Amino acid sequence: MISPVSELIELLSLERLENNLFRGQSRDIGTKYVFGGQVLGQALSAAQATLDSARGERAAHSLHAYFLRAGDIEHPIVYDVDRTRDGGSFSVRRVTAIQHGQPIFVCAASFQVHEDGAEHQLPMPQVPMPEDVEPTPTLTPEKLAQLPSKIQRWLNRMGPFEFRPIYPRDDLNPPKRPPFQQVWFKLSEPVGDAPELHRALLAYASDFHLLGTTTFPHGISYYQPNVQMASLDHTMWFHRPFRADDWLLYSIDSPSAQNARGLARGQIFDRAGHLVASTSQEGMIRVINNDIGNDKAGG
């Protein structure tokens, strides 16, 4: 039986149809539609596959994406890569993900050769190390049985990543709390050393927990049947080398929610305190037949 990590790596390893055309499969992990992190990771994998090694090794430093339509889990996704620019130091790729003849996702990714220059970063938050944080407890069979089948698969699956939130929240009965959270995470087994694989894996994982932070002040969550949530865009910057199979800290805050949209920002640190990546995401948040209080952050 294939392990969840091996399955994810296989998912990110696209079939090349033409020089700039790729096909990826989807996995049902319990979400209603294709998980946004899957499309992010596959799009980055497609863009990376079109880089010309003769121009020198170029690493992704930024990714700017829009989710246009919900992805169909039952059908493959085609990734069309436009080789927008190959300069002396930077390369840019535009990727369109297509399903049923329509674009469901677009992104631009930029790559750079390594250069020395000025360097600084904000410090990592003061939090317990991952070994001192308890793993998230699993739900009892009785509680799982009360949930829709897709949510059961989401909560009961053995995913490729292990998550250890510093301040766990009961998403089935969510309290109101300020829109901040820190989560340690890593792949559940080691993988190879290829940096482009680790970047695609981090793009996949960056979609976890981000939009959910915007719901904290309102006492709602994705698991509630009257709550509709969907990612609208996603931005990611890669700052420093890292390994997705070693512990990383995801520090997230949400500065604003309004007009049925919420904004979240994230910083990803390695266990030594190096800031390795930053993220931001805006998403749709709708509550059907219910009012959400206009709570101020921290209120």
Task: Kindly report the number of other CB atoms within 10 A of residue 226's CB atom.
Answer: 10
Among candidate residues 231, 251, 254, 278, the one labeled active-site is 231
Task: Kindly report the number of other CB atoms within 10 A of residue 7's CB atom.
Answer: 13
Nearest CA-CA partner of 165 in 130, 212, 210, 123: 130
231 has catalytic annotation: yes
188 has catalytic annotation: no
Strand extents, DSSP E, 226-260: 227-238, 248-258
Task: Kindly report the number of other CB atoms within 10 A of residue 270's CB atom.
Answer: 18
Largest CA distance in the chain: 60
25 has catalytic annotation: no
Check: CB of residue 69 under 8 Å from CB of residue 103.
yes
Check: CB of residue 37 under 8 Å from CB of residue 206.
yes
Q: In whole angstroms, what is the distance from residue 264 CA to residue 211 CA?
A: 6
What Å distances lie between residue 122 and 82, 259, 260, CA to CA? Answer: 35, 31, 31
Q: What are phi and psi of 94, to 5 degrees?
A: -110, 130
Q: In whole angstroms, what is the distance from residue 239 CA to residue 252 CA?
A: 17
Q: In whole angstroms, what is the distance from residue 127 CA to residue 129 CA?
A: 6
Among candidate residues 26, 38, 45, 207, the one labeled active-site is 207
Catalytic residue IDs: 207, 231, 281
